[in-house]
Amino acid sequence: MKGAKWMAAVALLLAARGVGMLPRGREIEERKLISVLAVDGKDTITVTAVTGVRVSEDEAAEVLNGEGSSLAQACRELRKGSARRAYLGQTEQILIGEEGELGKTLDFILTDRELRMDTLLYIVRGDAGKALEDSAEMVAGETGGQDPRGRTVGELLPRLIEGEYTFAPALAPGENGALEPAGWAVLSSEGVVGCFEADAALGATLLAGVGEGQVVSFPHGAAELTAAKIWAVDGTLRCALTARVAEGEVQREELEDWGKRVLRAALTPGWDCWGLDRQLGALRPGDWETWRKYPVEKLTVKVTGKLVNP
């Protein structure tokens, strides 16, 4: 009786396998692991992919291209370019061109069986595909986790789905072809709506909570930020900065003024990418509606600085 049960279980599995109900495997060496994917275009989508390489073995990265009316079709075209199947499951970075179709890309990531939510997303100034091709050797050997500014698709999606602003690191081609940091791109469900540059980018970095380690130059010296705590309450954005004097002489007031300036620059365009309104509302649940959609540009900025000598 027991033997019959086992036989039935095995027969069921074999039958399911036979009729294709179970997944079919593919040898790993028959795949081509894509490490970076670039997406450009609105009506005609272009994808450019770079395969992962082992830097220690001096392997050369391969660039694959595909074009189609949709991202899925473009990826299908991309796969045709290689005898081995291009596998997107190991994609660590997705680069989207400034003019690229953000919504379609995110939709594709959500529905595709291979692409993952923990893939880092970057916005590239100009043509992402060309920038990727030019920097293929460099990006193929890097791992995405090394970029402290990296934000994953999973981190961006919740705010976009709710129709709010969010931000992603922006990159631009440098002099030697390498992609270099170029502030932050502001995203909404419509696509890329703007960017934080210069002081605004520094302010956005502080608000994003990744400001530690930045070196700020002052007229008579420089300081390295060791801690930056920011919270919003009662219409005021409070910021506590702690910095280590790295060079020369730095006054506490200079640090506070710098903090106010960069934060104000980040708030002025009125893009609340950090959920400050929710923070305001959450701390005063009784006045939730008042604070819920509070315009961030109206926030009063108060910064307290603390200098630590080395």
Partner 1 sequence: MGFFGHTPRPDPPHPRKEPRLEGGLTPENLARVFENCVDYNRRSVCVGGNEALRAELVFIAGMVRMERVSDYVLRPLAQDRELGKSGESVAWEKMRSGALYNLSVSERTTLDQAVMDLIGGNCLLLFPGRERALSFNTGTEEKRSIGDPENEISVKGPRDSFVENLRTNTSLTRRHLKAPELRIEEQIVGRQTLTPVDILWVEGIADPQTVKELKRRVECIDIDALLATGNLEEYIIDEMDTAFPLLQYTERPDRFCYGLCQGRVGILVEGIPLGYLAPAVIGDFLRAPQDRSENWLVASSLTALRWLCLLVTLYLPGIYMAMVDFHPEMIPTRLALSIMAARRDVPFSALFETLLLLVAFEVLQEAGLRLPQSIGQTVSILGGLVVGSAAVEARLISPAVLVVVAIAGIAGYTMPSQDLAAALRIWRFFLTLLGGTMGLFGMTVGTALLVGHLAGLESFEVAYLTPFAANAGERVEGHAVFRQPLQTDKLRPGYLNTGNRRKQR
Which residues of the shown chain bind partner 1 in the complex (CB under 8 A)?
2-3, 9, 13, 17, 22-23, 25-29, 31, 33, 35, 52-54, 57, 87, 89-90, 92, 114, 116, 143
- Choice between 2 and 298, CB closer to partner 1: 2
Note whether 38 and 129 are within 8 A (CB).
Answer: yes
Instruction: State the nearest-atom distance from the C-beta of 1 to partner 1, in Å.
Output: 10
Instruction: State the nearest-atom distance from the C-beta of 14 to partner 1, in Å.
Output: 9
- Choice between 116 and 244, CB closer to partner 1: 116
Assign 3-class secondary structure to 6-52: HHHHHHHHHHHHHCCCCCCCCCHHHEEEEEEEEEECCCCEEEEEEEC
Separation between Cα atoms, residue 52 and residue 137, nearest integer Å = 9
- Choice between 115 and 182, CB closer to partner 1: 115
Antiparallel, parallel or unpaired: β 120-124 and 166-173: parallel
Q: Which residue has the tokens 């540059």?
A: 197
Q: Which of 300, 117, 262, 246 is nearest to 183 (CA)?
A: 262
- Choice between 79 and 159, CB closer to partner 1: 79
- Choice between 92 and 254, CB closer to partner 1: 92
3-class DSSP state for residue 221?
A: strand
- Choice between 26 and 284, CB closer to partner 1: 26
Note whether 179 and 286 are within 8 A (CB).
Answer: no
Instruction: State the nearest-atom distance from the C-beta of 20 to partner 1, in Å.
Output: 12
Instruction: State the nearest-atom distance from the C-beta of 288 to partner 1, in Å.
Output: 41
3-class DSSP state for residue 93?
A: strand
- Choice between 16 and 233, CB closer to partner 1: 16
Instruction: State the nearest-atom distance from the C-beta of 69 to partner 1, in Å.
Output: 27
3-class DSSP state for residue 217?
A: strand
What is the Rg, in whole angstroms, of the alpha carbon atoms belonging to the chain? 24
Instruction: State the nearest-atom distance from the C-beta of 113 to partner 1, in Å.
Output: 10
Instruction: State the nearest-atom distance from the C-beta of 59 to partner 1, in Å.
Output: 8
Separation between Cα atoms, residue 214 and residue 209, nearest integer Å = 12
